[in-house]
Amino acid sequence: MLVVNTVKALQETLTAHRLKGKKTALVPTMGNLHKGHLQLVKTAQKHADIVVVTLFVNPMQFGANEDLDRYPRTFRSDCDQLKTLDTDILFAPVIDEIYPRGGDNTTQVRVPHVTTVLCGASRPGHFDGVTTIVTKLFNITRADVAIFGEKDYQQLAVIRRMVDDLNIPISIIGEPIIRETDGLAMSSRNGYLSKEQRLLAPRFHGILTHIKQRIIDGNRDFSKLETTAKNQLCELGFKPDYLHIYQHDELRPATINDTKLVIVAAVFVGSTRLIDNLHVHCTETTVLI
């Protein structure tokens, strides 16, 4: 695996591959890799000849009171895991390489509307940081395809919208959530959980699964389902940030006529914020109650 730290070196390497007719896939990460990230790499390998994983903890997407300083930096273990998959290139720049004029003086990319709901409502400016770094990585690598995890449901929707709005010549692939055996969605932030919090955390997915079953059983009182679930989460010891039933690809609340839905939620367990989502496809035979 080639480890590259500068934009210039990465571009020279990728240009050489492109001239030989090779396709490039991009897997953007902030490091602290787990099985979910490795699955993104495996999928990338199916879609291209050269896979570039980027490792950059992007300060622009963290709010003032968020976990930028304590975000786990595990470079050695990340490299070791990527090598087991024969990853071609790891791009791991320092902050000045990406924002030489400083983050505040850098041109930003902002996708309107879809970034102001759900996580965007509780983390103002977060998605501007994401879309700015992702655009930069798209431009730096000129990748043919990029892979993102579906756990960050809204992030994926925002990136798809940006690519469409700005006619960026790249294909975006979403990779299904990888879960622990107890149902907890894999996340770099799970490492923050204490032993007790880790035991509680899978109940979050359990509540989403329960709503899914109620919808499949024909319940269309989405607002009541949301309120009941939020109360249950509070009783269990979570602090819900949001929990909504949305139409699955338009980032808007579901209506009674929608058949492709997604339950999207964010909760705090202590000071750790977890997100998760679950798709629900209703069939025409679903009985409404």
| Tokens read off for 30 | 């902030």
> Is 28 near ligand PAF (CB under 6 A)?
yes
Choice between 39 and 61, CB closer to ligand PAF: 61
User: Per-residue string for binding with ligand PAF, 143-162, x by CB under 6 A?
Assistant: ---------x--x-------
275 lies in the binding site for ligand PAF (CB under 6 A): no
Beta bridge partners of 3: 90
Per CB under 6 A, does 131 bind ligand PAF?
no
Report how many helices (DSSP H) and strands (DSSP E) the chain contains, helices first.
Answer: 10, 10
- Could you say which of 44, 133, 156, 185 contacts ligand PAF (CB under 6 A)? 133
**Binds ligand PAF by CB under 6 A, chosen from 30, 33, 208, 264:** 30
Residue 170 is encoded by which pair of tokens? 């790249």
Q: Provide the token pair at 283.
A: 């069939």
Among the listed residues 34, 37, 113, 279, the single catalytic one is 37
Give CA–CA dist 136/250, Å, rounded.
Answer: 25
Active site residue 47: no
Smallest gap from Cβ 60 to ligand PAF, in A, equals 8
Tell me: does residue 240 bind ligand PAF (CB under 6 A).
Answer: no
Our CB check for ligand PAF shows the closer of 29 and 115 to be 29
How far is Cα 219 from Cα 241, in angstroms, rounded to an integer? 23
| Helix H or strand E segment including 43 | helix 35-47
Per-residue CA distances from 225 to 21, 179, 215, 231, 282 (Å) = 52, 24, 9, 10, 16
Number of Cα atoms under 13 Å in the Cβ half of residue 168: 26
138 vs 246, which CB is nearer to ligand PAF?
A: 138
- If one asks whether residue 29 binds ligand PAF (CB under 6 A), the answer comes out as yes
Residues in contact with ligand PAF by CB under 6 A are: 28-30, 58, 61, 130, 133-134, 152, 155
Q: Which residues are catalytic?
A: 37
